[in-house]
Structure 1
Amino acid sequence: MMTVLPERAGRRCHNVLNPLHSCHYFSPDLGQELAEIGVTDRSAAYFAVRAAAMGPVGAGTVTATFYNFRHELVARHVPEVWRIASPEVVLAARARAADSTLRRLLGDEVIASKEVAEAAGLALRAAEACTRTARPLYAAHADLPVPDEPHLALWHAATLLREHRGDGHLAVLLGAELDPMEALVSHTATGRGMAPKWVLSTRGWRREDWDAATGRLQERGLLTAEGELTQGGVALRQEIEARTDRLDTAPYEHLGAAGVDRLTELATELVTAAMAAGAFPEGMIGKS
């Protein structure tokens, strides 16, 4: 019998699990671990750690699966990065960085707590219902072994759930006919996306790319002359999230309403502590 979840319960759970995964991208620990294996460029490090589960893939595969990075930036570092460090070496460095980052943000007492172990069990249970079909980043990570330590098992499960939802989200963006730059601009206009300065400094796009995408969205009636979402733009972004939810229901239905509620509670406590410890840079989210 299918579990009926409260509206947006899966999205809320994902939204508090995802930072447990993504905080390592902003951690000095990751930069240090990658530098020790010879990867010193920040963009190269990101492409390597997120793509490594797929093996020594080329720039085209990374651009396709990451979606919102300018291909020229990707091609500057991939596949060259694999000549510096193999995917296996990168994955080991990533695991060490995730371990040290979570220990620093949460503290050893929390890391060893029964709550972290419980959250890991619930998140892994949810991930059992993820599917590989047409989800390349999820499928690649699903082939990796589950770490033994509970906090790393939780991080691994959060990674699986993030990439599963993300792969589905990209299919929805294609269906909405939003190219990578338009997806970024419209998401930022919601107030929940990355600030323009972060997009331009990390995704390889130029200001003229941002302005051109803004113009295309205005022509479609999705943005006002001031760069705010129109009613149509708000409706489109809401529908994108709703369709993404529908493609991502299986893990949370599998876990069940009580399990989703408990996992959301546990993950919220952990993320709140991590953010208070400075897990993410100030000013990263917003319209300015």
Structure 2
Amino acid sequence: MTTEISLARMGRRCHHVLNPLHSTVYFSPDLADETAALGIHGWEAAYVATRAAPMGPAGPGRVASAFYHFNQELIARHLPAVWSLAPPAAVLDARLRAADLTLRRLLGPELIASAELAEAARLALRAAEGCARPARPLYAAYADLPVPDEPHLAYWHAAGLLREHRGDSHLAALLALELDPLEALVSHTATGRGMARRWVLATRGWQPADWEAAQERLRKRGLLDEDGGLTREGVRLRSELEDLTDRIDRGPYERLGAEGVERLTELGKVMLGPAVAAGAFPPEVMGGA
């Protein structure tokens, strides 16, 4: 019999399969083309605008709070100025067009038209019915968006709902365990599974001195060693963080049930594999350096 804890951990594994496919659009040249047509140029501006657009014409404070890991100064370089170039509705339309182009290119026509993708969309949307809006501002904004008709876009949309629901849940866990935005990134990178330091500094608006200061704060708490690796207590805290996130995020997977979660994970791997093989992600994103 599947326990509540094991189902929550199954949800984590499912998230790790669905989230990357949704994220492909943020690395896609199609997104750059679609946003450039609106007058929005550069990766930073395109990312901030397209991810924040479901929240409406929000300013930097609200968006930085919801994004958490970004330096607010980076957000403020693009918001609210970007909304004078294109309103959120136009940005959302561009994002959906980019998702369509990206998925068709990465998955190919056979997989796009497959029964497996249609089944994955149904399961992911059913799981999203178990999401909850309270204290989840980014998820709640995404939940107000209409579900696209085409299965590949419905799957991408549902994966986005599940991504942001877990993301908001994770922020609650970070606050509970007292990890600030950069401490969260530094400690995740130290696990060997997070983003590379150079990628964090290049895309999140932090400087090397900020990174080093966060390392020092973690050392004072006994979470990081002198070489930048996690101590035993650091490993324990990161494990507690993931377990707490699993518990806060378990609603969608309880809604789907163990068999449904297993099937969605299996189908998600079918969709993700070709995307990774097609070079959907820059090779420098992951790793500790």
Give 1:21-100 correspondences, 5 Å limit.
21-100=22-101
Stretch of structure 1 that moved more, 50-59 or 40-49: 40-49
Conserved? CA contact 1:9–1:260, under 8 Å: yes
Partners of 1:177 and 1:8 lie apart in 2 by 22
Partners of 1:3 and 1:208 lie apart in 2 by 44
Seq. identity, %: 65
SS at match of 2:279: coil
Q: Which amino acid in 2 is paired with 1:112?
A: A
Partners of 1:176 and 1:32 lie apart in 2 by 40
Q: How many residues align?
A: 287
Structure 1 residues 7 and 67, CA gap change in structure 2 (3 angstroms): closer
Aligned-residue offset at 1:222? 0.2
Structure 2: gaps spanning 5 or more residues:
none
Asked if 1:272 is matched to 2:273, the reply is: yes
Conserved? CA contact 2:194–2:286, under 8 Å: yes
- Once the two structures are superposed, residues 38-87 of structure 1 have per-residue CA deviations (whole angstroms, 9 ceiling, x without a partner) of 10022111111011001000000111000011111111110000001000
**Residue number in structure 1 paired with 2:17:** 16
**Residue number in structure 2 paired with 1:172:** 173
Give 1:229-240 correspondences, 5 Å limit.
229-240=230-241
Conserved? CA contact 1:119–1:154, under 8 Å: yes
- Once the two structures are superposed, residues 216-249 of structure 1 have per-residue CA deviations (whole angstroms, 9 ceiling, x without a partner) of 1011100000000000000000000000000011
Aligned-residue offset at 1:116? 0.3
**Residue number in structure 1 paired with 2:156:** 155
Partners of 2:164 and 2:193 lie apart in 1 by 19
Aligned-residue offset at 1:6? 4.3
**Residue number in structure 2 paired with 1:194:** 195
Stretch of structure 1 that moved more, 149-158 or 269-278: 269-278
**Residue number in structure 2 paired with 1:260:** 261
- Once the two structures are superposed, residues 125-175 of structure 1 have per-residue CA deviations (whole angstroms, 9 ceiling, x without a partner) of 000010000001100010100000000000000000000000010011111
Conserved? CA contact 1:3–1:256, under 8 Å: no
**Residue number in structure 1 paired with 2:212:** 211
**Residue number in structure 1 paired with 2:139:** 138
TM-score, L = length of structure 2: 0.98
Structure 1 residues 253 and 7, CA gap change in structure 2 (3 angstroms): closer
Partners of 2:73 and 2:154 lie apart in 1 by 35
- Once the two structures are superposed, residues 76-124 of structure 1 have per-residue CA deviations (whole angstroms, 9 ceiling, x without a partner) of 1100000010000000000000000001100011001000000000000
Partners of 2:224 and 2:41 lie apart in 1 by 38
- Supply the RMSD in Å over aligned alpha carbons: 1.1
Structure 1: gaps spanning 5 or more residues:
none
Aligned-residue offset at 1:269? 1.3
Partners of 2:180 and 2:8 lie apart in 1 by 28
Q: Which amino acid in 1 is paired with 2:136?
A: R
Partners of 1:248 and 1:73 lie apart in 2 by 28
Structure 1 residues 7 and 135, CA gap change in structure 2 (3 angstroms): closer
Structure 1 residues 263 and 191, CA gap change in structure 2 (3 angstroms): same
Partners of 1:72 and 1:15 lie apart in 2 by 29
SS at match of 2:125: helix
Partners of 2:48 and 2:7 lie apart in 1 by 36
SS at match of 2:40: coil
Partners of 2:56 and 2:220 lie apart in 1 by 40
Conserved? CA contact 1:3–1:257, under 8 Å: no
SS at match of 2:198: helix
Q: Which amino acid in 1 is paired with 2:227?
A: E
SS at match of 1:226: coil
Partners of 2:124 and 2:149 lie apart in 1 by 14
